[in-house]
């Protein structure tokens, strides 16, 4: 069965600093990987997704992630944090099937200080 | 296009009651998935409906059920509510073919007293 591990339930950065949120996956077949963001009292918004095309995926709001099969990782990065990036971020995996089932990590709350 | 809408946004129920939550997908989307989000268990998949048929089900007791109508709108029902059912219930829609982006609604926050 596939699973996702997000290291660090909280990550704190200063405004303008690099953001790095870690995600490792476990899957017996090539996975499809996603990063979602959740702002307080809202649903989930897709940041980016990997579907076996380019290994470096660019998303919205300046975020990007690199799929590394050898490390089973899909870490999320942003060169320069903004205050508005403060939110909870979820990594998710889905099998290459027609079923729309996402398996989520436990989430990482990003705190951005001025 | 209008996004995924969920009603009601907030609910307070007491133990033993039942509750029905509603989800309207994005126009043209035929797949609706439901997720439960709690501080302890995180985001967990409940079930997915496509063209009025349940295609996939998560590991939840039979008290959790759902259905989908011909217009793709979906409802989920929880019977005999327990305190542990307090959660944010999220609905997501997609076209339903292959691995596609799921678009999430704002959720329904259920509090069971």
Pull the structure tokens for residue B72. Answer: 């793709």
Q: How far is CA B64 from CA A56, A68, B38, B96, in A?
A: 39, 37, 16, 22
Cα separation, A40 vs A48, whole angstroms: 20
Give B87→chain A minimum CA distance, Å. 12
Q: Do residue B56 and residue A104 have CB atoms under 8 angstroms apart?
A: no
**pLDDT for residue B83:** 97
Dump pLDDT digits (tens) for B48-65: 999 999 988 999 999 999
Q: Does B8 touch chain A (CB under 8 A)?
A: no
Instruction: List the pLDDT tens digit at each of the 114 positions of chain A.
Output: 778 999 999 999 999 999 999 999 987 777 889 999 999 888 999 999 998 778 899 999 999 999 998 999 999 999 999 999 999 999 999 875 666 788 999 999 999 999
For residue A42, what is the nearest residue in chain B, using CA coordinates?
B106
Instruction: List chain A residues with CB under 8 Å of B90.
Output: 43-44
């Amino acid at each position: 069965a596939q699973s996702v591990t997000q290291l660090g339930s909280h990550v704190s950065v200063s405004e303008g600093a690099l953001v790095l949120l870690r995600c490792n996956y476990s899957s017996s077949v090539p996975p499809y990987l996603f990063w979602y963001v959740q702002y307080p009292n809202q649903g989930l918004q897709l940041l980016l997704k990997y579907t076996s095309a380019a290994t470096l995926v660019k998303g919205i709001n300046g975020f990007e992630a690199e799929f590394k099969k050898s490390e089973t990782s899909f870490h999320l990065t942003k060169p320069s944090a903004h205050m508005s990036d403060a939110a909870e971020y979820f990594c998710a995996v889905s099998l290459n099937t027609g079923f729309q089932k996402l398996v989520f990590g436990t989430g990482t709350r990003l705190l951005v200080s001025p | 296009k209008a996004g995924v809408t969920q009603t009601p946004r907030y609910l307070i129920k007491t133990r033993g009651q039942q509750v029905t939550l509603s989800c309207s997908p994005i126009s043209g989307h035929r797949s609706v998935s439901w997720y439960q989000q709690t501080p302890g268990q995180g985001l967990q998949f409940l079930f997915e409906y496509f063209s009025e048929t349940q295609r996939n089900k998560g590991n939840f007791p039979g008290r959790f059920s759902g259905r989908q109508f011909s217009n793709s709108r979906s409802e989920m029902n929880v019977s005999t509510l327990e305190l542990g059912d307090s959660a944010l219930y999220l609905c997501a829609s997609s076209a339903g073919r292959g691995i596609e982006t799921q678009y999430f609604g704002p959720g329904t926050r259920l509090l069971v007293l």
